[in-house]
Structure 1
Amino acid sequence: MRMPDPDIANIERAIASLNSSLDGELTIPGAAPGVTSFCAESALLQFIVTWARATHATENAIFSGLDSEASDFEITLRRQLGLPYVLAAWVLAGRLYDSEKRLLKRREAKGYASFLDAMDSFEFQRTHETFEMRANLVCVQGGKREFIRPFYEQHKSQWRVKPEGDVRVVVQDILAQLAPDWPAKYLREVSEPLAHLVRELVENSDWWARADHRGVEYEKGLRAVTFRLIDIDDDNLHMFAGENTHIQSYLLHNLTSHARVRVEPPSSRVETVRKLSFMELSMVDSGPGLARRWLANRPENKRSVNDLKEISPVEEEDAVIECFKKWRTSSGNSLRGIGLFSVASLLRKRNGFLRLRTGRLAFLFGTQSATNDIEAQLKKYDVSGDYVKLDDGTHVFLQDTKMVFFLRRWSKEEVGAVEGTAYSILLPV
């Protein structure tokens, strides 16, 4: 099969086909056709992880943009490995082939070390070779540089996630490189919520994504955090929203109401256009997914689930929702338990958007239409507790009788099962 185009709808169709009829051979194009729509990058990574896990990493990946006998092979390979989904296929697939079906060796990717060097030295714009304003922070399970070093420190010969203040310094550095025109005051303002989001999600994946639900470390795995700064305007909104109405609605609402919207003359037509910058933060891991890890590590009635088919979709959904409730934790650390809750509540304060994909579930948070609908529905419910499930299946999390955030099904259609957990977050900046 061929890797899907970079749009949520296309990727979900490809994931569904993986679940129904697995084609072991996967063709990776040399470059993504057209624009990679919002939330699609994390979905592509998760698609690759799911394909590799389903084939037990024994099947072939064909890199159609590579010619191992060409004089510029090493340069082309390094450039392509700056795309996180290409790197995932290179690491997780069984055998690797070029466009002419010539066998490739994993060690030929030595040029990728330059991206890791750039990441370690805080030269984040050099972690890829694209024209985008972006930063790729990736680590490979079992590799010599397994951890995303800017976010980690050594403590008693062990790597651990840095304190939030130190992570904030890193995030400020990333923003300063992606948006050099931002004033220092605004850099600090944006970096504070982003640093909190990043630290919580990185620590979460560090706890749970490096090993399966039984606690056995994966032989192969990947964790990725990417930042992408995109200017959205009236002309390109539809390209970055793709076919998805949720993203379209969210971008349009911000483009018409956000305080930082700029009105500028475009290059394509006489009228002015509205323009607003968005930071897309993607966090993907190749772990067991939220439901299986919760069931295996919850405080009581622990249950090891080898395959999601062993549990009902309802039980899976209940397990995922438990991960977001305040003070729920499966880490055994009483000081934890507000991580994902705090991430979601911060998104509400910052007018953010979230797409969460794990197991057989896909949720969204952040559209104004959904917020208005949920607030209207809540008037019919007893909101004395910290959680309400609405009749339409929306999960609402409360504090002092007020909605803090919600998780609503991405679509009415069932989605195929995926490996790992993927967060796609949009923040207007």
Structure 2
Amino acid sequence: MISIKDTINISALNHLYSELDQQNAASRLDLSMGLNLKFNTFSAFVCFIQFIFTWKRKANAGSIILQKRAVTYLDVEKTVREHTGFVISVVGWKNGIFDADGNDLKPHFKKANAILLKLFQESKWTKSSYRAAVLFPAIDHVPPEQGLFDLFYIHSRSTNTYNLAPESAYELLTLNLIESTTENNEALKVYYSKIAGELKGVLFELFENTHKFARKSSSGDSLTPGLRGVYSKLFNFEYKRLRNFTDNSPALERYFSEIHLRNPESITGFRNVSFLEISVFDSGSGIVRVYKKKELIGKSIDDIPIGDEFTYLIEALKKNNTSHKGILGKESRGVGLYRMMEIVSKANGFLRIRTGRLDLFRNFLSVPFYEPRNDTFNYSLFNWDSQSVIATQLQDVSGTSISIIMPCINPR
């Protein structure tokens, strides 16, 4: 059994991946966790989702055990409202969810999830949010009328098909995201509403990417369970407490130091740091497995050198590089990150990508993105821990998470 502590950050998740790799593949592997998990650091929640899927894809994955005796419906309702319970139940449903006494918690989760799903289906996103965080999911292993919501998809009643909504429709998603995360902070709501067009572009590019590449495995097989989505959270804290929110990451600390030096008069006061996290995640095969699927037929990702995986990822980001055929067989744009990098760079933002064996970032304050250039340097990414452009091999993860920081800078 692997036990998850209540405070979730990137360091804790890396430790859990090491534990996962060391487990006996022949033994049933249960996952144990508390009811009150805390995600105080940038990108922690979506990276937690990746870990849950990485565990679930193991052949010996067992049940989810909640570390409390006699868990009640109210306990379950709370963790579902916090989004954590919803995610773990979607992923772990088949093999069961139990409390410390061995009681089956599926009836409680079924009832609590139904309430949250009803809010999703009725587009009551502000009500579905929790403490300045909101989750917009797409569930691929259930009937589309249950798992695909109208912020992302348009239902054609004549053909009973669900098609990805055009970019113009993502204005509603953007407005709901801003409203849900800034509900109790009017000044930040006004600030992010002014850049709603840029946020819409980022959301469309990233979610379209999951639609094209992450609904099935790189070999075309259905993924059960399969979950994609957008997660956003507003961070607003005193600068002196920075390390509580960065997990002592040198990359983040340097970025926020630069933000602080350039923008001493933030909207919420000299001593505050304010930013919006926008993360898009999926449970697919990962960027490199999709981009190089022909070369990887019959192979594991571990069969290629980590330096090659790093190179392939950079190639996949470049404009017009693609593994996907568009309409009428014409080449569509690449993995979909070219425009996102333009937008985030102009906003002086920050990017993090966790996929395959790579954990990479880019601080666009230090290394801006130059629109006309399509060379490798313009797509440079750096290792999360070492801050080097030389690839560092980590444990292989399921899916991809792409997290960006849109900072609040010198509003007037």
Question: Scaled by the length of structure 1, what TM-score is found?
Answer: 0.82
Tell me which of 365, 380, 385 is aligned to 1:411.
385
Do structure 1's residue 6 and structure 2's residue 3 form an aligned pair? no
Q: CA deviation at 1:75?
A: 2.5
- Residue of structure 1 in register with 2:55 after alignment: 51
Taking a change above 3 Å as real, the CA distance of residues 169 and 66 of structure 1, as seen in their structure-2 partners, is farther
Q: What amino acid is aligned across from residue 8 of structure 1 in structure 2?
A: I
Taking a change above 3 Å as real, the CA distance of residues 306 and 48 of structure 1, as seen in their structure-2 partners, is farther
Q: CA deviation at 1:12?
A: 1.3
Tell me which of 272, 275, 288 is aligned to 1:275.
272
Taking a change above 3 Å as real, the CA distance of residues 171 and 259 of structure 1, as seen in their structure-2 partners, is farther
- Residue of structure 2 in register with 1:387 after alignment: 375
Do structure 1's residue 307 and structure 2's residue 300 form an aligned pair? yes
Taking a change above 3 Å as real, the CA distance of residues 160 and 409 of structure 1, as seen in their structure-2 partners, is same
Q: Secondary structure at the match of 2:196?
A: helix
**For 1:411 and 1:15, how far apart are their aligned partners in 2?**
16
- Residue of structure 1 in register with 2:206 after alignment: 201
**For 1:183 and 1:353, how far apart are their aligned partners in 2?**
18
Q: What amino acid is aligned across from residue 195 of structure 2 in structure 1?
A: V
Taking a change above 3 Å as real, the CA distance of residues 190 and 305 of structure 1, as seen in their structure-2 partners, is farther
Do structure 1's residue 111 and structure 2's residue 116 form an aligned pair? no
Taking a change above 3 Å as real, the CA distance of residues 3 and 187 of structure 1, as seen in their structure-2 partners, is same
Taking a change above 3 Å as real, the CA distance of residues 92 and 106 of structure 1, as seen in their structure-2 partners, is farther
- Residue of structure 2 in register with 1:20 after alignment: 22
Q: What amino acid is aligned across from residue 244 of structure 1 in structure 2?
A: S
Q: CA deviation at 1:318?
A: 2.5
- Residue of structure 2 in register with 1:286 after alignment: 283
- For these two proteins, the number of residue pairs brought into alignment is 385
- Residue of structure 2 in register with 1:244 after alignment: 249
Q: CA deviation at 1:51?
A: 0.8
Q: Secondary structure at the match of 2:151?
A: helix
Deviations 1:276-302 (A, max 9, x none): 421011211110001111112xxxx55
Contact 1:48–1:85 under 8 Å retained in 2: no
Which structure 1 residue ranges, 4+ long, deviate > 6 Å from structure 2?
A: none
Aligned 1:2-401 pairs, distance under 5 A:
2-4=3-5, 5-21=7-23, 24-33=29-38, 36-55=40-59, 58-65=61-68, 67-68=70-71, 73-93=72-92, 94-105=95-106, 108-128=109-129, 130=130, 132-144=131-143, 145-155=146-156, 156-180=159-183, 181-182=186-187, 186-258=191-263, 261-262=266-267, 264=269, 273-296=270-293, 303-305=296-298, 307-333=300-326, 334=330, 336-338=332-334, 339-366=336-363, 368-369=365-366, 371=367, 386-388=374-376, 396-397=377-378
Unpaired segments of 5 or more residues in structure 2? 387-391
Q: Secondary structure at the match of 1:357?
A: strand
**For 1:164 and 1:182, how far apart are their aligned partners in 2?**
27
C-alpha RMSD over aligned residues:
2.7
Q: CA deviation at 1:99?
A: 2.1
Q: Say which is worse superposed, 332-341 or 283-292, in terms of deviation.
A: 332-341
- Residue of structure 2 in register with 1:267 after alignment: none
**For 1:205 and 1:217, how far apart are their aligned partners in 2?**
14
Q: Secondary structure at the match of 1:235?
A: helix
Q: CA deviation at 1:110?
A: 2.1
Q: CA deviation at 1:9?
A: 1.3
Taking a change above 3 Å as real, the CA distance of residues 367 and 326 of structure 1, as seen in their structure-2 partners, is closer
Q: CA deviation at 1:427?
A: 0.7
- Percent identity among equivalent residues? 21
Q: CA deviation at 1:263?
A: 6.2
Q: What amino acid is aligned across from residue 411 of structure 1 in structure 2?
A: D
Q: CA deviation at 1:210?
A: 1.4
- Residue of structure 2 in register with 1:400 after alignment: none
**For 1:192 and 1:168, how far apart are their aligned partners in 2?**
8
Q: CA deviation at 1:420?
A: 0.4
**For 1:184 and 1:238, how far apart are their aligned partners in 2?**
25
